[in-house]
Amino acid sequence: MSLVKFRMQPFALSGPLGLIVLAGTLLTGCAVGQVYVPPGMTPPASWQASLPHGGQLDQINDWWGQFDDATVATLVAMSESGSPSLTIAWANIEKARATLASVRSGRLPSVNASASASRERSLGVVQTARSAGFDSSWELDLFGKLRRNEEAATARVEARTRDWHDTRVSLAAEVADVYVQWQACGLLADAYDRALASNQQTETVTTALVRAGLDAVADGALAQASVASASDTLLAQQAQCDLLVKAMVYLSGAEEGALRALLEQAPRRLAEPRGFVVTAVPAQVLRQRPDLGALEREVAATHAEIGAAQAALYPSLSLSGSVGLSATTGTPSSAWSFGPSISLPIFDGGSRQAAIANAQAAYRSAYASYQQGVRQVVKDVEQSLVRLNSATSRAQYALIAETRYRDYFLATDSNWRAGKVSLLTLEEARRSALSAEVQRISLQRDRVQYWIALYKAVGGGWTQQLAQAPAAGSPTGSGPTVGAIASDEFKLQHQALP
């Protein structure tokens, strides 16, 4: 790249006249590029799936604390206190803020000082040389390149802040989801344990009948096979419960023994979330998604970078000066210089135009990602609503089926003991009753999981008003810090990295 530089003489802009000209230049400078307009959203006029009914809660901030089981909130707090993913998201905010501070410093004058001293002897004469001086430079942002870069850096700070909120919402949803799965796993294990006990009783009676010659040997084999099958199912279910505990250890960072002690105190039932009202206006939900907010801020950042790349096509003006003092064995001297310099881009082989094309491509990519994000939000909410309403509607039928199959099994068991039905008929009735109970527990688990998914789909309580970046003076040293972001609803206690 070749540049033609013109160095103006100091007297050209000296004195009051120079200040007037300089002030006029700064005032007439303007930022190159278009004014950023946030991308428009094209959500449907209303949700197509049925909205949940009976909800009493309009605000869903800290929704994990609104279960009827305090263990959910405890586990979420434990996971937040030492979450590597939240620490990474927090570090990304700090990196973005550091980048913003660096960009802002480019709009201010820079001043450097230097000093030196030396002593030498030549031809028997000892001489001492001393020098000191200051030099400064200041790039005048005539066409807004520095301003556009600052806009981009500011937008990325806001994007990383939204990423932090999205990480927190996702973490809370994952913790609550795994806990609900563990609770349901325990209920299923209890059901399989009762089924095993029932099979063992049947096997004991059948074995006695076979030995007495009152029952066929085949019935004894069937009873033994049923016990073995029930034992296998129970062991597999217990292993699944242990795997879910391992998952909670991973998410919470807690010691497994302490976590199991906490889980032992948890209610032996599925946690039930409070309902909430989903707005009928999709556009309102779109504004509550932190991941979508992050995508929009990236669009703003890339838009500003187009202006910065375009501003590089224009001349740049900088103001520089220096003052120096020197003395050699008692002979002091001084020197100073001051004046502007202008740099005009003449030929660079197309690198500046390529930078503009690259910035424009990045903007189109960010814009398309935002549009895709809007579609993803609508899909997430619609699917969560369908699944939730389906599970809620099916639950009543699952309960009826469980009750009737249990009655049928008890009646069949009485008939079998009276010799009125075969063992095969009894085992079929037992499997039907067990299957109905498993289906009812699974539907209850699914319903709670779909509520959690809906909480996350509508943003988990995050709003644009609660998404301001941490204050510049937030502590970042070692020891506990509070990562509060504009609301007590979003407090994070974590250890800052040393």
- Residue 12 falls inside a structural domain: no
- What pLDDT, in 10s, does the model give residues 343-380? 888 888 888 899 999 999 999 999 999 999 988 888 88
Degrees, nearest 5: CA angle 365-368-372 = 135
More confident residue, 399 or 496: 399
pLDDT digits (tens, 9 = 90+) for 276-332: 666 655 777 777 889 999 999 999 999 999 999 998 888 888 888 888 887 776 677
Report the helix count and the strand count for the chain, using DSSP H and E.
10, 7
State whether residue 129 is helix, strand or coil.
Answer: strand
Contacts of 61 (CB under 8 A, 6+ apart): 461, 466, 487, 489
| Residue 351 located in a structural domain | no
Q: Mean pLDDT, to the nearest integer, of 372-389?
A: 88
| Sequence-ordered list of residues with C-beta below 8 angstroms from that of 286, at least 6 positions apart, any chain | 41, 43, 292, 374, 377, 378
Do 61 and 489 contact (CB within 8 A), yes or no?
yes
Percentage above 90 pLDDT, the chain: 37
Residue 483 predicted with pLDDT over 70: no
Q: Which residue has the higher pLDDT, 136 or 194?
A: 194
Per-residue pLDDT, 174: 94
The whole-model pTM stands at 0.78
Q: Which residue has the higher pLDDT, 196 or 491?
A: 196
Per-position DSSP letters for 413-440, written without gaps between them: HHHHHTTSS-HHHHHHHHHHHHHHHHHH
Cα angle at 412 between 408 and 416, to 5 degrees? 175
For residue 348, is it within any domain?
no
Q: Which domain holds residue 66?
A: 31-111+144-314+356-468
Closest CA to 153 of 23, 297, 262, 291: 297
- Within 10 A of 458 (CB to CB), how many other CB atoms are there? 23
In a domain, 107, yes or no: yes
Q: From CA 67, how far away is CA 422, in angstroms rounded?
A: 47
What integer pLDDT is reported at residue 477 of this predicted model? 32
Torsion of the alpha carbons at 449, 455, 459 and 460, rounded to the nearest 10: -100
Residue type, 9: Q
What CATH number is given to the structural domain containing 459? 1.20.1600.10
- Any idea of the CA torsion for 53, 58, 63, 67, to the nearest 10 degrees? -50
The residue with greater pLDDT, 469 or 445, is: 445
- Tokens 């096509």 identify what position? 313
Q: What is the pLDDT of residue 35?
A: 83
Both tokens of 338, joined, read: 């001051």
Taking the C-alpha atoms of residue 34 and residue 22, their distance in angstroms, rounded to an integer, is 26
Identify residue 400 by its one-letter amino acid code.
I
317 has which bridge partners? 140, 342
pLDDT of 486 above 50? no
Helix/strand/coil for 481? strand
Q: What's the pLDDT at 488?
A: 32
Q: Share the mean pLDDT of the chain.
A: 80
494 domain residue, yes or no: no
Q: What is the pLDDT of residues 80-134, one digit of tens each?
A: 888 899 999 999 999 999 999 988 888 888 888 888 888 887 777 777 878 888 7
pLDDT at 137: 79
Q: Is residue 460 part of a domain?
A: yes
Note whether residue 16 is domain-resident: no
In the block, residue with structure tokens 């998604």: 289
Cβ neighbour number for residue 434 with a 10 Å cutoff? 22
- Length of the chain equals 498
Within a domain: residue 407?
A: yes
Q: What does the pLDDT average to over 160-186?
A: 93
* Per-residue pLDDT, 58: 54
Q: Decide: helix, strand or coil at residue 56.
A: coil
Burial label, 442 (beta-carbon count in 10 A; 0-12, 13-18, 19+): middle
Domain count, the chain: 1
Res 52: pLDDT: 66
- What gap in Å lies between CA 323 and CA 332, rounded to an integer? 14
Closest CA to 269 of 39, 486, 448, 61: 448
Q: Are 39 and 367 in contact (CB under 8 A)?
A: yes
Q: Within a 10 A sphere around the Cβ of 105, how many other Cβ atoms?
A: 10
